[in-house]
């Protein structure tokens, strides 16, 4: 696991510890370096990490470097954002349009 400011960079090896066992809800951005829509939503994901600090963890998972977790959760296209709470996926957002994402995240923050 690496950390870039408030963003966590998770991998196949530490996903369970960093995401599934987290005390806080975790928003995971499944992305790849070559993906232009992924780059387009990156600033939104980074802002959410700042805005929800202390209430939400925000992580990025490179699907090219970590295919096991992407396959386990059926991530077939990117960007895909999965929100986990208590070790369970509670929301899935596919694509670069971010309308409704904040509302879904806030609904699961409690």
Those residues whose C-beta lies under 8 Å from the C-beta of residue 32, and which sit 6 or more positions away, are 38, 62, 63, 64, 78
Residue 68 CB partners (closer than 8 Å, separation 6+)? 12
Closest to 64 measured CA to CA, from 53, 75, 49, 54? 75
Residues belonging to the active site: 35, 38
Q: Say how far apart CA 41 and CA 37 lie, in whole Å.
A: 6
């Amino acid at each position: 696991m690496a950390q870039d400011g408030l963003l966590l960079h998770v991998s196949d090896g530490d996903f369970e510890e960093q995401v599934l066992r987290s005390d806080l809800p975790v928003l995971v951005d499944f992305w790849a370096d070559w993906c232009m829509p992924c780059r387009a939503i990156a600033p939104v994901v980074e802002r959410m990490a700042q805005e929800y600090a202390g209430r939400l963890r925000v992580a990025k998972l490179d699907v090219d470097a970590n295919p096991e977790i992407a396959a386990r959760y059926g991530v077939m296209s990117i960007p895909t954002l999965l929100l986990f709470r208590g070790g369970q996926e509670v929301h899935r957002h596919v694509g670069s349009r971010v309308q409704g994402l904040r509302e879904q995240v806030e609904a699961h923050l409690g």
